[in-house]
Amino acid sequence: MKFAVIVFPGSNCDIDMYHAIKDELGEEVEYVWHDTESLEEYDGILLPGGFSYGDYLRSGAIARFSRVMQEVVKAANDGKPVLGVCNGFQILLESGLLPGAMRRNESLSFICKPVQLKVENNQTMFTGEYELGQTITIPVAHGEGNYYCDKDTLARLKANNQIVFTYEQNPNGSLENIAGIINEKGNVLGMMPHPERAVDELLGSADGLKMFQSIVKTWREAHVVKA
């Protein structure tokens, strides 16, 4: 499986994402610059964390208009897995690929620490290797991770089982403890915690590796002809 790590001016978690895919997962991966005009050759799209375009206006608000985002939307519409982490999640929200918005952390402070997440939905291409209700340890690092949506959107998220991860102890004021959501089609996931920073016990946790393994397993089941 071949992954694209989208790099925006100000991305700073792209190397972590690249390492997770190449060295821990053992899959093919390339950095892809924000002005790239085609993502056809890639099977999975990864939007890493950072401060795209300096987080001017709002986090992800300018990156949403990057040329490559037209191709990310196309890839999503084609059913390819798209994962946005931290700033990548914010960009997915700004682009309309996921519903809702991000606000400043309730504390108005930047948060950087390991947190415990509960797996609320393990029937997705991103979470198939987890157990339902499993608690996993994944680090967060953000200043604007306070997820918000209106009542109707929240009702749809719940009805469609689109809330994939919740915080065991809410670090940022996020509505309903939401840490990660998926689109209705099930192929676009956005989350504030960083699974790419939890792919080896040397990093303090390897709980994030199963997310990338889930993507690859689902893709191979769909694309590789069994002998």
Catalytic residue among 13, 71, 86, 144: 86
Concerning whether 28 is annotated as a catalytic residue, the answer is: no
- Cα three-residue angle 189-158-107, rounded to 5 degrees: 70
Q: At what angle do helices 87-95 and 67-77 cross, to 10 degrees?
A: 80
Give how far Cα 221 sits from Cα of 100, 108, 125, 191, Å.
32, 44, 11, 24
| Catalytic member of 27, 120, 142, 194 | 194
d(CA 205, CA 55): 29
Residue 196 among the catalytic residues: yes
Told to judge if 13 belongs to the known catalytic residues of this protein, a careful annotator would answer no
Asked if 143 and 112 count as a contact pair (C-beta separation under 8 A), the reply is no
- Enumerate residues 6+ apart whose C-beta is below 8 A from 147: 100, 101, 102, 103, 174, 175, 178, 179, 181, 192
Q: Apex CA 132: angle with CA 89 and CA 101, to 5°? A: 20
How many Cβ atoms from other residues are within 10 Å of residue 27's Cβ? Answer: 18
Q: How far apart are CA 88 and CA 79, in angstroms?
A: 18
Amino acid at 51: F
Catalytic site residues?
86, 194, 196
